[in-house]
Amino acid sequence: MVKVSVLYPNSETTKFDMDYYLAHHIPLVQKLLGAALRGVFVEQGISGGQADSSPAYVAMGHLMFDSVEDYQASFGPHAPAIVGDIPHYTNSQPTIQISEVKLTPANE
């Protein structure tokens, strides 16, 4: 299983509309990527490592796929629509990371 993480860096000028992200963007992604998308997790940053510090990322979206090839095949044709929606909820430029999942709660 692979996880595609979309990390939205935080700054003093970052704007992020979590309501729009949850109600519109994530459902759009789910619809467009279809059955290739095995799961979605969304996190909202609340703090950095030090007390009262800002989080490094204002939000993170994690998309689960069986393989990198499944991700590429499902995302590629819909990239313009998905990426084109980003300005509707944030001015942050996301960083993408693809990871191979090595341990999940189901493995315990």
Q: Would you say residue 101 has pLDDT above 60?
A: yes
Q: Would you say residue 108 has pLDDT above 60?
A: no
Which residue segments constitute the domains of the chain, with CATH numbers given? 2-102 (3.30.70.100)
pLDDT digits (tens, 9 = 90+) for 20-51: 999 999 999 999 999 999 999 999 999 999 98
DSSP 92: S
In the three-class reduction of DSSP (H, G, I as helix; E, B as strand; rest coil), residue 93 is classed as coil
| Integer Cα distance of 100 and 65 in angstroms | 10
| Integer Cα distance of 99 and 41 in angstroms | 14
| Integer Cα distance of 97 and 9 in angstroms | 13
Percent of the chain past pLDDT 90, that is, above it, reads 94
Question: Which distant-in-sequence residues (6+ apart) come within 8 Å of 30 by Cβ?
Answer: 37, 40
Mean pLDDT in residue range 83-88: 98
Averaged pLDDT of the chain: 96
